[in-house]
Structure 1
């Protein structure tokens, strides 16, 4: 079983959504965690837009990356530039992957709910591709 850690700044939206999709798509082939460099709680809009797509992340907690520095991971995925810059050193066996997504709710000219839905859809597509390419199983689109 692969172990995946998804990092962003606040562990409130992007990493939470990625954790939800990666765990759903990977099933029992992976154990997925998420954390932030400055966690500040799971955003209610992230919970709402994931529920709209049938994934419940309401039980997720917002965790600090320091909680995971002694755990072995196969993949560490940073989903924002700030987390990439501040990402701690992980065991050499962890492959670091960076894919920056826009900060939902902070996109000029787009209302917050629309922004969260757009970012959710980008994260969903990325997560499907990640599982297909890294864990070797096609996900129904």
Structure 2
């Protein structure tokens, strides 16, 4: 399903499509419904799925532009000031515009396949430890 096709569907058709998709996924993937989403543009209904307690959204595929035209970047005074503080702290010897140009890739169009994308962060086996613990002390030796 490409984004344009998804946007052209009614919510009723999106719902049915999502139910059919869930029926073709492993049995433990559950379609939870549609949710209205807005981010800097028009509203869009997104399909929400659950798998193993984690929530996922259907990301329709299609062509998108990625990358950055760094030569057109015009930082605000606040961005320049913030970057200068960070540059001093981390030993970066470039001005903000040169840095942005060095770490970005040029604009280009790519095509993505539809996918399910997790929508909430998940802890993956990390645990808090005190520097006083014997385990940490043994590592530091």
TM-score by length of 1: 0.23
Scaled by the length of structure 2, the TM-score of the pair is 0.23
- Greater percentage in helix: 1
| Structure of greater relative contact order (alpha carbons < 8 Å, 6+ residues apart) | 1
Structure number with higher strand proportion: 2
Larger radius of gyration: 2
